Structure 1
């Protein structure tokens, strides 16, 4: 590890910040188009309150990340740039919507990572994670839609990998409701909640997606009154929300660099699993 002092006149936003960066080759670069993972999801470090996004030529400030507190950022390209004899890694990024694009110093951002239910051993640790992790912001809105249903690690683990080729198998639960397969009624949209929220709307703003889920629920008879009455149901959720999922990596894997690496980073995970069930 080396100490990198960010003090580039007229370019760096923090003139007195010292950060630690991995040693990186001067010819380091990352190109999402050449990477099997595609764009790599990042989020602003919790300690960063302000940071400029520049035009690609690094001559004009065009945005400040402080004005986009709810956005994640997708790194499409990275390279080492040298200014005033000091080198640093810069990212070409785009926002959730794709409307905000530009160049930013890598030190402002950190990988957006998520955990699968299978990575937890206790209910309490799972609940803490679901209530605090940035990647679970949409999941928290789903939980609010079922205020009296209890979040269950066990059900979340059982339903984590359910799909058309791997049907749900359990002798513990009954009255199982696969919320993810519900579709809207009365319009031309034929996509299920999982397909819409994890596909067309993946990685987007939280509120529109939560509103969509609520509307589809109500289309299918799950009114607020009905949802409030489901206190005897458990809730199983697995929603990485476009983060990279650590269980998708090899066992005991750890990143060798804070920067995106074509031979290490995995793809974004947009899976949406939402199940309700009662104990037998």
Structure 2
């Protein structure tokens, strides 16, 4: 995923480069998904989309790649929560946490869930594996929350909204989730949304790294700590 890297006129063109489709300066906070890169007149361009109706091709220098931190780089729940609440790469995480009123985020649970090795918790509810249906364009299909969230066919807000409907259909409404939080449940969450762990100076694609033991293991669970 990428973000807008300029506040000046920076146009998104159609594939033939004969029509300006959008101006990036009007999308300063948008998350962009890159589907391919190509060279035109000795310049590198990206085919980009916001997951919705805004799409086209743009010069690579007008956007910059998102970089996520690995979970083992955090030292406390508050440290991790601050990152979730402020980092650009965590827009989808923030949208998902809004589905759980009074959510208590646990770094330890997030780390264990992302590795599929939850040992310190009980009554585990894996929200990421809740099944349901999602509509993308004119097609409605069966899926699970995890798979739908990892797709690029919707904006972050739309992804979270659909995930919320899928959860509610299985009984995990906002009221239900809030009730579980009041009973001592905690949230484990890790969503990289296709971001990289490091980026070199020369940019996409050769110097972007996705190396991490948890990089592609999305976690979205709630559970209660085991009693000592």
TM range (shorter): 0.7 to 0.9
TM-superposed CA distance for 1:130, in Å, is 0.4
Once the two structures are superposed, what CA deviation does each residue of 1:3-54 show, in whole Å capped at 9, x if it has no partner? xxxxxxxxxxxxxxxxxxxxxxxxxxxxxxxxxxxxxx32112x52542224
Aligned residue number for residue 20 of structure 2: 61
1:101 matches 2:56: yes
Change (3 A) 1:209 1:62: closer
Check conservation: 2:106, 2:186, Cα contact below 8 A.
yes
Q: C-alpha displacement at 1:242, in angstroms?
A: 1.8
CA contact (8 A) 2:14 2:57 kept: yes
User: In the superposition, relative to structure 1, how do residues 203 and 234 fare at CA in structure 2: closer, same or farther (>3 Å)?
Assistant: farther
Residue 208 (structure 2) aligned to one of 256, 260, 265 = 265
Deviations 1:216-262 (A, max 9, x none): 1111111222112122111010101121234xxxxxxx6142x2133
Alpha-carbon shift at residue 152 of structure 1 (Å): 1.0
Greater Cα radius of gyration, structure 1 or 2 = 1
- Conserved? CA contact 1:150–1:235, under 8 Å: yes
* Structure 1, 202-211 or 149-158: larger mean CA deviation: 202-211
1:184 equivalent to 2:132? Answer yes
1:92 paired residue among 34, 42, 46: 46
Q: Cα offset for 1:275?
A: 0.9
Q: 1:173, CA displacement in angstroms?
A: 1.4
Extract unaligned runs of 5+ from structure 1. 1-40, 83-88, 163-167, 247-253
Contact 1:42 1:74 in 2 (8 A): yes
The answer to whether 1:173 aligns with 2:121 is yes
How many residues align structurally?
214
Counterpart pick for 1:150 among 96, 100, 104: 104
Superimposed CA distance per residue, residues 143-167 of structure 1 (whole angstroms, 9 cap, x where no aligned partner) = 11112230111111111122xxxxx
Q: Structure 1 pair 182/91, CA: closer, same or farther in 2 (3 Å)?
A: same
- 1:43 aligned counterpart, secondary structure: strand
What RMSD, in angstroms, separates the aligned Cα atoms of the two structures? 2.9
Normalised to the residue count of structure 2, the TM-score between the two structures is 0.79
Structure 1 pair 149/54, CA: closer, same or farther in 2 (3 Å)? closer
Match of 2:7 in 1: 48
Match in the other structure for 1:277: 223
Structure 1 residues 190 and 66: alpha-carbon distance in aligned structure 2, compared to 1, 3 A threshold: same
